[in-house]
Structure 1
Amino acid sequence: MQLIDGKAVASHFKAQIAEEVQQLKAQSGKTPHLVAILVGTNGASETYVAHKVKACAELGFESTLVRFDETVTEAELLDKVREINENPDMDGLIVQLPLPAHINPDAVMETIHPAKDVDGFHPINIGRMAKGLPAYISATPQGCLMLLEHYGIETAGKHCVVVGRSQIVGLPMSILMQRNTYPGNCTVTITHSKTKNLAEICRQADILVGALGRPEFITADMVKEGAVVLDVGLERVPDASKKSGFSLKGDVKFDEVAPKTSFITPVPGGVGQMTIISLMQNTLLAAKGSIYKK
């Protein structure tokens, strides 16, 4: 079993991105600028956004954090999104999910201009990705691909089983893994909470992606010997032994699954590290006008 060290891989890509940012500044005077909108005071969302702002500072990006109270109306939020769309100095825009129940997340995502949708959630970017056209790819699936490539893990002809069908991870991951490229060329099965014989299907996987959002759902009896396991889950589980009062757990019961695998990502320290790197890469592409010409 080899541990896929997301932290080490992220450090490798951080150095590359920082160098590209310096080159961009020297050539054009342009500094990549990421805008994050945060609604309410959700603890996990606060943490995620703080990590993104910190990464911007480390890599030489400019960042702007726009905060709204939980009571903000959908119309007010959409007006702010449109304002940012029109600002040529702002390259990428993310709206941190989840949003309050009275705001339709699809309406928000569809209002973000595709050229600034560095989260890769806009239907145009999802459609372009599905067709194999240049697009901003959702950060977490893209991070998974970067890990597979960095470790030279063979994917062609392999059976990839994705557990979870969310539009943020499961769906794009299933599309990416079947594309005629590397990483890709897999035979893909996408499963979810209503799938019958789920454990049996998971045991067929050469590459198993846990993206269901249920802590330690995937156990050893669901994994075949030698499988590659990518754990996308990240949930807070109460833990009185921790100063914070919680532990971070993935979808995979790591201690019992890891000995059966050829490669596995830990939680934390695995895929999550690469999610932010992917977001930074997308923002750099936006600043350069690489996907949508400025």
Structure 2
Amino acid sequence: MAKLINGKQISAQLLEQVSVQVQQLKDNHGVTPGLAVVLVGEDPASQVYVRNKIHSAAEAGIRSVEHRLSADTSQAALDELIDKLNRDSEIHGILVQLPLPAHLNEDDVIAAIDPLKDVDGFHPLNSGALAAGQSGLVPCTPLGCMIMLQQTHGDLSGMTAVVIGRSNIVGKPMAALLLQANCTVTIAHSRTRDLADVCRQADIVIAAVGRAQLVTEDWIMPGATVIDVGINAIELDGRRKLVGDVDFNSVEPIAGAITPVPGGVGPMTIACLMKNTLSAARMQLSIPD
């Protein structure tokens, strides 16, 4: 039976650490980190995510400001808001909730955010810094995965890792972080030949492809650590259920450690957003960690 990697518990510990450091920033420098959250449209899932982020910000002592825009907001209007937030010295982090309505260009929006305020870690300058092994703001989901892996294993040096998925949001930055931790890394994707066999060679499997219960027990080497980034809604016995990219029930008896869905990576993503907001404030004020 695998060890359950409890994202709720680890994220609560991380939020507590961030809260203490935020209070120190207030006490020593008179600064409260500020996070601006921009939501365009009425996507139900995005509204839930934004609500959870605002709640976590309050828990960490971070001042949050919400900007809710209609679904027909123009690119020019959104760019104008981002420019205003970039110039606001009391806002240290800017998060534009994705996905955006189809008429808006997500790449342009990400590029418009000041890299020092890019708490999602998606700006090309931050992506490039990560790829080059330099300091910068790191995407929250991969950062959360790394924290869970390091708490589970300590030193990851020499371990083999397979990342299923090559997105700019999870797959590519996840691979970069694993490389920095001295893992031997394979990025797998829809064109990978014999994907199951590739995964069976790995000490660590990160599933981030967005296909419900894709990874089954015959994909996993006995004792491997499995991090499930996916969150998919399926119908089961007439009820809507959230599942990951991993078939938890079949994989859990084989794996050495595994994250659940929900309650695994999700809470860590939000906690790392708060960690990034604190880091962004420090960078802008030239205050070392």
In which range does the TM-score fall when normalised by the shorter chain?
over 0.9
Task: Answer yes or no: is 1:213 the counterpart of 2:210.
Answer: yes
Map 1:124-139 onto structure 2 (within 5 A). Answer: 124-139=125-140
Task: Answer yes or no: is 1:16 the counterpart of 2:10.
Answer: no
**Alignment match of 1:280 (pick from 265, 269, 274):** 274
Partner of 1:257: 251
SS at structure 2 position matched to 1:289:
helix
Deviation per CA, 1:264-283: give whole Å up to 9, x if none. Answer: 00001111111011110010
Partner of 1:117: 118
Between the aligned partners of 2:136 and 2:61, the Cα distance in structure 1 is 23
Between the aligned partners of 1:185 and 1:45, the Cα distance in structure 2 is 35
Task: Answer yes or no: is 1:266 the counterpart of 2:260.
Answer: yes
Partner of 1:234: 231
Partner of 1:39: 40
Deviation per CA, 1:227-248: give whole Å up to 9, x if none. Answer: 1100000122235665xxx221
Q: For this pair of structures, how many residues does the alignment match?
A: 287
SS at structure 2 position matched to 1:56:
helix
SS at structure 1 position matched to 2:260:
coil
Distance verdict in 2 for CA 1:207–1:153, change over 3 Å: farther
Between the aligned partners of 1:248 and 1:47, the Cα distance in structure 2 is 14
Between the aligned partners of 2:286 and 2:237, the Cα distance in structure 1 is 49
On the 8 A contact 1:216/1:252 being kept in 2, the answer is yes
On the 8 A contact 1:136/1:291 being kept in 2, the answer is no
Residue identity in the other structure for 1:219: T
CA RMSD between the two structures: 1.6
SS at structure 2 position matched to 1:156:
coil
Between the aligned partners of 2:273 and 2:72, the Cα distance in structure 1 is 28
Partner of 1:158: 159
Distance verdict in 2 for CA 1:43–1:275, change over 3 Å: same
Q: Which runs of 5+ in 1 are unaligned?
A: none
**Alignment match of 1:201 (pick from 198, 202, 205):** 198
On the 8 A contact 2:92/2:284 being kept in 1, the answer is no
Partner of 1:76: 77
Alpha-carbon distance, 1:150 to partner: 1.7
In the TM superposition, structure 1's runs of 4+ consecutive aligned residues that sit over 6 Å from their partners are 290-294
Distance verdict in 2 for CA 1:290–1:230, change over 3 Å: farther
Between the aligned partners of 2:238 and 2:90, the Cα distance in structure 1 is 46
Identity of aligned residues (%): 44
Between the aligned partners of 1:241 and 1:76, the Cα distance in structure 2 is 43
Between the aligned partners of 2:242 and 2:26, the Cα distance in structure 1 is 38
Between the aligned partners of 2:159 and 2:153, the Cα distance in structure 1 is 14
Residue identity in the other structure for 1:284: L
> Normalising by structure 1, what TM-score?
0.94
Partner of 1:144: 145
On the 8 A contact 1:115/1:292 being kept in 2, the answer is no
On the 8 A contact 2:116/2:284 being kept in 1, the answer is no
Residue identity in the other structure for 1:211: A
Between the aligned partners of 1:124 and 1:264, the Cα distance in structure 2 is 33
Partner of 2:283: 289
Q: Which runs of 5+ in 2 are unaligned?
A: none
> Normalising by structure 2, what TM-score?
0.96
